Structure 1
Amino acid sequence: MYPWIWRHLPGGAGLKAVQALVLVLAVCALLLFVVFPWVEPRLPFNDVTVGS
């Protein structure tokens, strides 16, 4: 998959490296600000089964 992305980015190696870095940062931002906050309330981490 990564070679496919690399082949389809325009420009030389330096420009492709910058574009790949921007893509990685965009995916990380999407995960941190959209996906993880949406998933967090649906996870069972707050369902404690050990009582006092």
Structure 2
Amino acid sequence: MYGWIWRHLPGPLAAKLVISIVLVVGIVALLFFVIFPWVDPLLPFNQVSVPN
């Protein structure tokens, strides 16, 4: 999978490195600002007390 992505990135090695870093940062930002806040209410980890 990663090899396929690397082969399809345009440009020489330096350009591929920059593009891949930008892609990773973009994916992490998407996860932190969109996906994780959307999933947070659906997770059962909000109940921090133990029932009696």
Fold shared by both chains (TM-score > 0.5): yes
The equivalent of 1:10 in structure 2 is 10
Deviation at 1:46, TM superposition (A): 1.9
Q: How does 1:10-29 map to 2 (within 5 A)?
A: 10-29=10-29
CA RMSD of aligned residues (A): 1.5
Per-residue Cα deviation, 1:24-46 (whole angstroms, up to 9, x for no partner): 00000000000000000100012
Gaps in structure 2 of 5+ consecutive residues:
none
User: Where in structure 1 do 4 or more consecutive aligned residues deviate above 4 Å?
Assistant: none
Q: TM-score, normalising length from structure 1?
A: 0.89
1:2-51, Cα deviation, whole Å (9 max, x unpaired): 10000000000000000000000000000000000000010001235623
Which structure's relative contact order is higher, taking Cα pairs within 8 Å and 6+ residues apart? 1
